[in-house]
Structure 1
Amino acid sequence: MDHAYQGELCMSTANDYNATVVERLDITPNLMIIRVKPDVTPFPFLAGQFAILGLQRNAPRIPEADPEEVPEDKALRLVRRAYSISSGSHETHLEFYISLVQSGELTPRLFALAVGERLFLGKSASGHFTLDRVPPGHNILMVSTGTGLAPYISMVRTMALGIGCPITPMAVVHGASYSWDLGYRTELEGLNRQCDHFRYVPVVSRPQDDKDWSGRTGRLNVWVENKKALEEACGFPVDPAHTHIFLCGNPGMIEFTEKYFVEQCGYDAGSKKEPGNLHAEKYW
């Protein structure tokens, strides 16, 4: 997920690049999973946090990107953005789930990267959208759209240690326009089959253009309002006494669902200093 962080270094050189692309998986022409190896390891982080990626303005861009003119005096400036980490905290690489913004400053450059190429990685991870705010014994419901799924992949992998099933009951509800936009679908479907305490709930909003999809349909923020269907899909009660909720993705979805869970279900959004039982990542 691309956070709202924006920033540039005054000037940079190739020596500022401190990480290497070690793997790349293209989900669609507009969605990719990229794995990055930091020069300095370990790179500690908590599941749900984000890291800064960057490239120089003179770095190559994909041909499909919107036209851009880069003034000569800014060609060496480093464009930086924050992205949620999707790898588990025990993994040796950093993984990111990124959506192409054709008019963006950084993603057209990231999508031009090949395995073995270099880029900038911030010195440390940041963010409070983490599982340490969930008391033991509570269920975890994770609702997302698009690349807002990324921090949940990190959470699931971390809690399963990459080799098993999460002990805590967890459900991932992921909304996308089409089934081919459901990144990590194979991995999550596998966990859904193998793990008694894990549920994967994909929802497609444009089934009329996706004839092969036979699963759940509708706009995610409307779909979650059906509390009975939501609880049946998750396999546990969706109430403040038993379940913590995480929201990540499209700002409209977050605003709508947060209001619903607070006003209709009695959830508390809390604050950074005093977290409640509903946690929203409001950066996009």
Structure 2
Amino acid sequence: MLTETKVELAPTAALSVETVQSVHHWNEHLFSFSISRPDSFRFRSGEFVMIGLPGDAGKPLLRAYSVASPSYDEKLDFLSIKVADGPLTSKLQKVQPGDQIYLGRKPTGTLVADALLPGKRLFMLSTGTGLAPFLSVARDPDIYDLFDEVVIVHSVRRVSDLAYHDELSAKLADDPLVGEVAAEKFHYVPTVTREPFHTTGRIDALIESGRLFADLPSGHAFNPETDRIMMCGSMDMIKSLGAQFEAMGFPEGSNAQPGAYVIEKAFAG
């Protein structure tokens, strides 16, 4: 458990107290977990929220985590790295079902459909745990009404880092709400940078070579008139590709002013 003597957490005006329902360790530095969802908790697919545990001084120790579950789910899923000396993740990686956890009451974020202009293809470009918000977006039925193609690109260092690989490779076939439409519209492009895999290289290299588009029905390179892009993950990836997209004529969007691409900086990992 988190501690030998369990301490009952107390909710605050900004935080509810939820219960860990399940934990899955993908490898030695990556895990996911599910917690209870308050009846009053509402969020848009792709948003993040503050979650946390008691800190050494007793005050809540909080970090921003993207919700990985769809907005209609009865539970809330999160994907996290493990950092041995991380103030929060060193404790969070030890949670077990039944443990308590803090959940912020106000989700927010820019990786939402509302921040994008209408388009035909939606590309969700992610590295590492930046995949999390896109797991939510890709299981949102509304997203398939807005786009003809919905594409998740996930770049990791090792094959074992490809969290949710089987579900995504199966085109979300087991999802009760989007399974049927995802079979036609959803596409998954996993790529590994430091081990042999059927697709290797960073996302920018896949874009440059055209490999990113090779297996898509449309097949063509990025077009600012019809393509919409979400990015979450390493800041190097976001800055580099953001500059490229700007040069190609993709305006950055926000909740206040929708654009052709959006990024998320506030996420754990």
Fold agreement, TM-score > 0.5: yes
**Aligned mate of 2:41, from 30, 40, 43:** 43
Q: Aligned partners of 1:262 and 1:29: how far apart in 2? A: 37
Confirm or deny that 1:248 pairs with 2:232.
Answer: yes
Tell me the amino acid that sits aligned with residue 166 of structure 2: T
Per-residue CA deviations over 1:30-70 (Å, capped at 9, x if unaligned) read 111100103x3141100010111111125xxxxxxxxxxxx
Specify whether residues 217 and 78 from structure 1 end up closer, same or farther in structure 2 by C-alpha distance, changes over 3 A only. same
Confirm or deny that 1:201 pairs with 2:189.
Answer: yes
Gaps of 5+ in 2: 1-6, 174-181
**Aligned mate of 1:99, from 74, 81, 106:** 81
**Percentage identity across paired residues of the two chains:** 29
| Number of aligned positions between the proteins | 247
CA shift, 1:159, in A, is: 2.4
**Aligned mate of 2:116, from 98, 111, 134:** 134
Q: Is the 8 A contact 2:116 2:262 kept in 1?
A: no
Cα RMSD after superposing both structures: 2.4
Per-residue CA deviations over 1:68-120 (Å, capped at 9, x if unaligned) read xxxxxx2x121011100000000011100111122211011111110011111
Normalized against structure 1, the TM-score is what?
Answer: 0.80
Deviates more, 1:112-121 or 1:12-21: 12-21
Normalized against structure 2, the TM-score is what?
Answer: 0.84
Per-residue CA deviations over 1:240-273 (Å, capped at 9, x if unaligned) read 111101111000011111112221x321124553
CA shift, 1:234, in A, is: 3.7
Summarize the alignment of residues 106-185 of structure 1 with structure 2, pairs less than 5 Å apart.
106-159=88-141, 168-185=148-165
Corresponding residue of 2:263: 280
Instruction: Provide the secondary structure at the position in 2 that maps to 1:144.
Output: strand
Corresponding residue of 2:50: 52
Gaps of 5+ in 1: 1-11, 59-73
Q: Is the 8 A contact 2:119 2:146 kept in 1?
A: no
Per-residue CA deviations over 1:149-194 (Å, capped at 9, x if unaligned) read 0010000111279xx9996411111100011100110110000787
Corresponding residue of 1:22: 21
CA shift, 1:280, in A, is: 1.1
